[in-house]
Amino acid sequence: MSADNKTDMAWTQFDEAVSFLGLDPDLAEFLRRPVREFIFTVPVRMDDGRTQIMQGYRIQHNDARGPCSGGFRWHRDESLTGGRVMAAWNTWRAALMDLPLGGASGGLIFDSKKLSETEKERAVRGWIRAIAPELGGHRDVVTPDLYTTPQIMAWMMDEFETLTGRAHPAVITGKPLVLGGTQGHNDALARGGVLEVREACKALNLDATTCSYAIQGFGQAGQHTALLHPEILGGGKLIAVSDSSSGIVCSEGLDPKAVVDYKRRHGKVSGFPGASPISNEDLLELNVDILYPAALEGVITSINAEQINARIICELATGTTTPEADTILNVKGVYVIPDFLASAGGSIVSYFEQVQGHINYYWLRDDVNQRLDARISAALQEVRGVAQSRNVPLRFAALLLAISRVAEAVRLRGWV
């Protein structure tokens, strides 16, 4: 999905929610705009001695509820337009989970795959040097996102601490455990989504132990989902998975651990023994109980929504479903767990890491998972309550709840 289409979709949904809530036009306009934007140049010395000029940016959308927090994204197609949308989505996600945070997003507009490890290190350290005065555990926290790794987050924290001359473990999350990272961060996004599927099965009176499921997108989130689904739900049959180049399907069921191991060894799922090939498009239309779109934006549209057969869709990828498709799925009675609710596990556990960094005390994995479960369950219960009382779909209910919370904070501060 292009940045323009992503923007149109995000602000169409926002405008509908604002109208429904009856917000003052001035307040609505304030909520639409980022409170601060930073654009800067990052010169990076390459291994061959030349200097590559990269464009960096950081967008702080809203900090009425607390310090901003959001990912570092690293891709040649990154843009300020897309960054504004991601920052706003991070604001709504934090408010929906009732976290004392606002939303931010930033990164480098460059293809990280073209860089060596030493070039990556120089680039992210340069990015931190450029934006350091605007970062901090009580100001703006950088979290992992597109094409980041624990090593990259470690370089960021080290550069920030070198500049400030003090330890600041709360300013960067997604770090290695030995540098103040938190247990449970690696699988947090997937765990949050599966926990919400568990609650959805309860609401629909489905026996989760016998439900079939398919995963479109078999990166880290998809792989963790495959493993966590039977663990959290007590069973289930994995029917199909796909990655960027191929897909596999087996009506008798796939062994999640075996498929994950095959993907990690071969870099793809095609060729997995005992499975047949399937395209990403056909996977979406399989007759399964639960569908996890965990790859690209805009994969469910008005063109294929009528052919979707899943009872539950858990949107682990951002912007999975277009507004037109949303209407069709709602009429069909499909239970859609919307993206900024389904993918909130990563944001929650990043917040937990920030908190642990502030107090210099780190929780055990069970503590993290239990706290995540409690946050996710409470949020989904609140969203369902709004959906029932307002007679609206879950996505719209989630947006209503999130925007109203941010609007209240803005009003109480007297900003608008």
CATH number at residue 139: 3.40.50.10860
- Is 209 part of a structural domain of the chain? yes
For residue 138, tell me if it sits in a domain.
yes
Residue 20 lies inside a defined structural domain of this protein: no
The last residue of a domain, from among 127, 153, 179: 179
CATH number at residue 331: 3.40.50.720
Element (H, E) at 277: strand 276-277
- Let me know whether 229 and 253 are in one domain: yes
Q: How far apart are CA 24 and CA 27, in angstroms?
A: 5
Whether 291 and 260 map to the same domain: the answer is: yes
Count CB neighbours of 132 within 10 A: 16
pLDDT at 20: 97
Q: Residue 296 has what pLDDT?
A: 76
174 and 201, same domain (yes or no): no
Residues 37 and 162 in one domain: yes
79 and 192 together in one domain: no
Full residue range of the structural domain in which residue 206 is found: 188-342
Closest C-alpha to 276, from 286, 264, 267, 265: 286
CA 176 to the chain's CA centroid:
19
What pLDDT was estimated at residue 182?
Answer: 97
242 in a structural domain: yes
Residues 318 and 224 in one domain: yes
Distance CA 388, CA 348 (A): 25
Q: Specify the pLDDT at position 77.
A: 81
Claim to verify: residue 275 and residue 227 sit in the same structural domain: yes
> Domain tally for the chain?
2
Residue after which a domain boundary falls, among 158, 179, 200: 179
Residue 80 lies in a domain: yes
Q: Write down the residue that tokens 């990828």 correspond to.
A: 317
Among residues 342, 371, 405, the one where a domain terminates is 342
Residue 354 lies in a domain: no
| Same-domain pairing of 250 and 161 | no
173 & 200 share domain: no
Residue 9 lies in a domain: no
Is residue 223 domain-shared with residue 172, that is, in the same domain? no
In this structure, the answer to whether residues 142 and 165 fall within a common structural domain is: yes
106 neighbors 136 (Cβ within 8 angstroms): no
Q: Residue 282 and residue 284: Cα distance in Å, rounded?
A: 5
C-alpha distance from residue 373 to each of 122, 232, 379 (Å) = 38, 11, 10
Q: CA 165, CA 64: separation in Å to the nearest integer? A: 29
pLDDT given at position 134: 97
Spatial strand order of the sheet with 140-144 comes to 36-45, 51-62, 102-109, 68-75, 140-144
Domain membership flag for residue 226: yes
Element (H, E) at 95: helix 80-96
User: How far is Cα 126 from Cα 376, in angstroms, rounded to an integer?
Assistant: 36
Residue type (1 letter), 117: E
**Cα angle 258-314-172, degrees, rounded to a multiple of 5:** 85
Same domain, 172 and 231: no
| One pLDDT digit (tens) per residue for the chain, 416 residues | 555 566 777 888 899 999 999 999 999 999 999 999 999 999 999 999 999 999 999 999 999 999 999 999 988 888 888 899 999 999 999 999 999 999 999 999 999 989 999 999 999 999 999 999 999 999 999 999 888 999 999 999 999 999 999 999 999 999 999 999 999 999 999 999 999 999 999 999 999 999 999 999 998 999 999 999 999 999 999 999 999 888 999 999 999 999 999 999 999 999 999 999 999 999 999 999 999 999 877 899 999 999 999 999 999 988 888 888 999 999 999 999 998 899 899 999 999 999 999 999 999 999 999 999 999 999 999 999 999 999 999 999 999 999 999 999 999 999 99
